[in-house]
Each structure stands twice: as C-alpha cells, then as structure tokens.
Amino acid sequence: MASLNVSLCFFFATCAICEVTRRASKALLPAGTYASFAREAVGAAQLAACCLEMRVLVELGPWAGGFGPDLLLTLVFLLFLVHGITFDGASANPTVALQEFLMVEASLPNTLLKLSAQVLGAQAACALTQRCWAWELSDLHLLQSLMAAHCSSTLRTSVLQGMLVEGACTFFFHLSLLHLQHSLLVYRVPALALLVTLMAYTGPYTSAFFNPALAASVTFHCTGNTLLEYAHVYCLGPVVGMILAVLLHQGHLPRLFQRNLFYRQKSKYRTPRGKLSPGSVDTKMHKGE
C-alpha cells in the first residue's frame, strides 16, 4: 500500500508541476509560441511521466504490491481524465498534429514545431522520471531502478501484428476524436478517457500507445527489437491508422486533394420532381410559338 501511495503522490506532483509550468508559460510567452511549442512540450512531459510510472505499477504491481487489474484500469481512466482537463488544448500526440495538418487546420512550420516539442517533452520526462526512481522512495521504485538498464520491450508479438494493433487503436481513437471534436469538454474528455482505458485493456500485445512520441520515450531504448521494428509498429502503424480515420470521416484528405472518394456532395438546390400540370404545359407551348 505504501508503494501505491508513493505512486499517487508522483502522479499528483507531476500534474501539479506541469500545470504551474503551463500557466507560467502562458503568461510569459507569446500566444503562438505557447500554443505551438510550450503547451505541447509540457503536455507530452506530463503524459510520458505518468505513463512511465503507470508502467511500473502494471509490470511490478501485481506481484510486488498485489494490485489487481481493476485498480490499474481505474488509475488509467482517472489519469487520462486529468490529462484531458489540464492539457489546455494540447494533443501531446504526433498523430494528432499530423491530423491537424492534413485537415488544413495547421501549417507545416506549426506542425513541425509541435512535433519537436512533443518529442523533446517526452524525452525530458523520461530522464527526470528515471532520476526520481533513483531516489528509491518505494519498493517498486527500487526494483524499477535496478531493472531500468535492462528494460524489456513492450512489443510482445510479431511486427506485423503489432502494426495492426497500433493502427487499429489509432484508427478508433482518431475516429472518436473527429466525431467528438465539436462536443462539450464535459462529454468529450470522459468519452476519450474511457476509450483509452478500453484499448489499454484489450491491447496488451503492444501496450496500446498509439502515440509515437510516448512510445519512443518508453520502449525504443529497450532490448528485444530493433529501432526499425519499433518504428514500423509505433510510428508507421499509428500514422496509417490516423490517415484511414480521416479518410473515413471526411471522405478525402483536404491537404492533398478535394475530391470526395466515399461520400457524394449534396447540392444546395433541389430540383422539383412533381409532374407539370396541363395548364403549365399549354402556357409553355404558347410561349414557344
């Protein structure tokens, strides 16, 4: 129980520090710099740090702390609920940034800046979290610090199946995101948090990251697979899943082409389908004469 309390304190401290940093950046930086870089970097750091600590609970908690899947899934749901509320519009996900680019909602320089911020934020969180584990505040942190140099891969299946799992998770996530993008925050955040929790439960073969920046900070340095295999599963798979979700939702990729491949555009003007009366036919014939 003491280990769980330490992890809960870690989650609270991480979210609190990131929130203070987010508000300070918003007050001190220009609006464009905050939205394109600072907000994304802080959001990615918060997401990566919590995910790394959550991975400790998932891998070591069941046998070292007696934590059941009900507790772990509840924590996942609550964490993504907090992320959705505190992110202030940040996605902290490269595939979402690419989706905004394909939807002509962001320019290329803006998208590249977001991608850089997300990668840097996730990598910084990884380094800081490992330093926190080195303090050995709990038994789980002690075990994790001993095992950190020999971490195991989160890819527990073939590369092809892993690509399919990550692609499918990303597809459903982006399809839900597109469908709920105009919904109120009070409905959108719990719905997405529940979806992420369900996919985390049903996608144990790859840990269901569907976030290349998050996967890179958590598992790319682990032994068991090559960097190219990781890139195929955790980068190529999610990008393909995102593109398919945009195609299904929009019928086309607005950045690349305007022709709708799946849905017909309905005309704004409807022609009457009723039959002409005999009087109107005679009038037209007289006008023609």
Residue owning tokens 């499918």: 168
Q: Would residue 63 count as lying in a domain? A: yes
Q: In CATH, what number is assigned to the domain containing residue 191?
A: 1.20.1080.10
Two tokens, residue 229: 């295999």
- Name 184's Cβ contacts closer than 8 Å, sequence gap at least 6: none
Distance, CA of 165 to CA of 202 (rounded, Å): 10
In a domain, 282, yes or no: no
Q: Which of 218, 77, 65 is nearest to 139 (CA)?
A: 65
- Say if 3 falls within a structural domain: yes
Number of domains in the chain: 1
Residue 115 lies in a domain: yes
Please give the chain's pLDDT, 289 residues, in tens.
Answer: 688 899 999 999 999 999 999 999 999 999 999 999 999 999 999 999 999 999 889 888 877 667 888 888 999 999 999 999 999 999 999 999 999 999 999 999 999 999 999 999 999 999 999 999 989 888 888 888 887 667 778 888 899 999 999 999 999 999 999 999 889 999 999 999 999 999 988 767 888 889 999 999 888 888 888 999 999 999 999 999 999 999 999 888 888 887 777 766 555 445 555 554 555 445 444 445 4
Q: Which residue has the tokens 């305007």?
A: 258
In a domain, 267, yes or no: no
Tokens of 116: 């850089």
CA atoms of 231 and 221, how far apart (whole Å):
12
- In the block, tokens 């994790």 appear at 144
- Is residue 195 domain-resident? yes
- Residue 45 belongs to some domain of the structure: yes
47 part of a folded domain: yes
pTM, rounded to two decimals: 0.86
Range of the domain at 62: 1-250
